Each structure stands twice: as structure tokens, then as C-alpha cells.
Amino acid sequence: MTLLDRAIVRLLPAVPRPVVQLFSARYIAGTTIADAVQVVQQLNAEGKLATIDVLGEEITHEEEARSIAQAYRDVFDEIEREHLDSNVSVKLTALGLGLSYDMCRANLEDVVRQAAEDHSFVRIDMEDSSTTDDTLRLYRTLREDGHENVGVVLQAHLRRTFGDIHALADLKPNVRLCKGIYVEPTSIAFTDADAIRANFVRCLDALLETRAYVGVATHDEWLIGKALNGIAERGLERDEYELQMLLGVRERRAGELVAAGHRLRVYVPFGEQWYAYSLRRLQENPAMAGTIARATVGRVLGRAA
């Protein structure tokens, strides 16, 4: 993106909610669990796997966190009833991390136990750097308590990630590796696109060397190529890694990767709390700056007319 594009995209929070909702519809399954089920059925029919996310983050009351944990119970019920090929992704702030570490741990354990009962798997999303230590600590605690059906996310833009991979190696972790979406200071994060890519490759190599199960989460063609080479060089079988993409992004490319024989998982968010997630997706869409500029100018002209 050019500097001008970035400046325009930073104005997104000023764009009216209905406009954001319209532009971001492709990234969200819908507001109800039935919407998510329908989308996952379609993905499964195309040979793709899914991970379902109940939208909600930075909640402010304990009851909200509990109701999100409860919503995951409903998701597992649907996964089982509809025979969906899907696991789930959770955000720890949605389970109360911002309110109390212990409450969040209890909610997370609850979700992971429900998943185990249904032979399912829970991926803990990674949020901004204020949550990294607690997230990795909770992941280790759960694994050391014997929960095998849980994985975590590491962000290649953080300088600490290479060290975190080595610190986690004894767990033979299940890791989704992504670039990282949260804006972080240069003291702790690479901010240059090439530096982030270089660290992604370095971290991916380290994960594959430690025999971690890796979900390579990127739409970046250069990185997809690097990942496919690394996987081929190590002779990994189809069930020893997966590629991951977001709903609504590079769908045709995802189909090609499935046709080439790779396991590919799509992140499927649903729920009423669609706004924060939508903003993050729109901020990453290279076409968004022009679209916002046109829509905003259109509104202003419309109002003036």
C-alpha cells in the first residue's frame, strides 16, 4: 500500500457502521450459528476445512465471557450434529483475559474440555502484544495439564517470536504462524514488510525443524511458495501441516491449493460483534483505500446535491 492508501485506511473508524458492514460482508459468515454452519458446509463441499470463531473481544463483564464460552458449546453441538470438518478459534480477551487471568483460564479450560468431549480442537488466537505472555503461559499450563487438543498462534512481526518457538519446543506445539495484524511499536516488532516476511520464513523453518505441527496462515504468494518448498524439502505428509486463509480472501487460490492436494483451513467468524474484526480485515484489503475514498466522496457529493 502507498503512504496515501495507508492514510486513507486509517480513517476507517470514521466510516459509518452500515458502510463498514456492507464492505466487510465477505469476511464474516453472518450473525448466527446457522450462518456459520451454512458457510462451513459450503467450504467442506469444496474440500476445505474450517475453524469457527465466535466474534467478541475486549468484553467488559464476566457474564459476557461466560456467554461466549457457552456459545462455543453450541458450536461444538452443531459441528457434531452437522458432521462439519471444523475446529474452533478463540480470543482470550473474549473469554475474559482483560478482566481476570483466572476467570479466563477457567473459561478456556471449559471450552477445551467441551472440545475434547466432541473430539475437536481449540486454537487460541494471538491478540496484541499486551496479551502475548499470558497467552503463551495459558497455552503451556493447559498442555502441561494434559490437554492435547489445543494450539496457539505466533506472529512473525514480533521480534520475540523466534525465541518463543524455542521456548515452546518441549511441548511439540501445534502452532498457527501468521504475520500479525495488531499495530506494535518498532522496539518489539518488525514493521517493514520485507523484514516481516524474512522473519516469517525464519520462524517457519524453526517450527518445521522442531517437528511442530504448523498451520501456515498467509495469503502472501511469496510466503506460500516458501512454505510449500519447506514442506516438500522435508517430505512432510499431507496430515503433518496445513495452510490457512481467512474467509473472503483469495478464495480461488485456496481452491487451487486444495486441488494440488494440500489441507487448507478457512477461518470462519460469525456473531453480532462483527465491527472490530471487520475493521482489521478492511485495513488489510489493498483495494480498500480507493473504495473508501470513492464511497466517502460519493456520500459527501450525495449530501451536497
Instruction: Select which of 105, 123, 143, 176 is catalytic.
Output: 176
**Residue 118 in grid coordinates:** 466432541
Compute the least distance from the CB of residue 152 to ligand FAD, in Å.
9
**Distance of alpha carbon 34 from alpha carbon 82, whole angstroms:** 11
**Residue 176: active-site member:** yes
Instruction: Select which of 53, 105, 125, 164 is catalytic.
Output: 125
Would you say 116 or 201 has its CB closer to ligand FAD?
A: 201
Compute the least distance from the CB of residue 302 to ligand FAD, in Å.
26
Which residues are at the interface with ligand FAD (CB under 6 A)? Answer: 125-126, 153, 155, 176, 178-182, 217-220, 244-246, 249-250, 267, 281, 284-286
Would you say 40 or 217 has its CB closer to ligand FAD?
A: 217
Would you say 146 or 248 has its CB closer to ligand FAD?
A: 248
**Residue 299: active-site member:** no
Compute the least distance from the CB of residue 34 to ligand FAD, in Å.
22
3-state secondary structure the chain: CCHHHHHHHCCHHHCCHHHHHHHHHHHCCCCCHHHHHHHHHHHHHCCCEEEEEECCCCCCCHHHHHHHHHHHHHHHHHHHHCCCCEEEEECCCCCCCCCCHHHHHHHHHHHHHHHHHCCCCEEECCCCHHHHHHHHHHHHHHHHCCCCCEEEEEECCECCHHHHHHHHHHHCCEEEEECCCCCCCCCCECCCHHHHHHHHHHHHHHHHHCCCEEEEECCCHHHHHHHHHHHHHCCCCHHHEEEEEECCCCHHHHHHHHHCCCCEEEEEEECCCCHHHHHHHHHHCCCHHHHHHHHHHHHHHHHHC
**Distance of alpha carbon 277 from alpha carbon 273, whole angstroms:** 8
Would you say 33 or 204 has its CB closer to ligand FAD?
A: 204
Among the listed residues 228, 249, 253, 231, the one whose alpha carbon sits nearest the alpha carbon of residue 240: 231
Compute the least distance from the CB of residue 303 to ligand FAD, in Å.
28
Would you say 117 or 133 has its CB closer to ligand FAD?
A: 133
Compute the least distance from the CB of residue 216 to ligand FAD, in Å.
9
Would you say 95 or 245 has its CB closer to ligand FAD?
A: 245
Length of the chain as a residue count: 305
Compute the least distance from the CB of residue 305 to ligand FAD, in Å.
31
Kindly list the catalytic residues: 125, 176
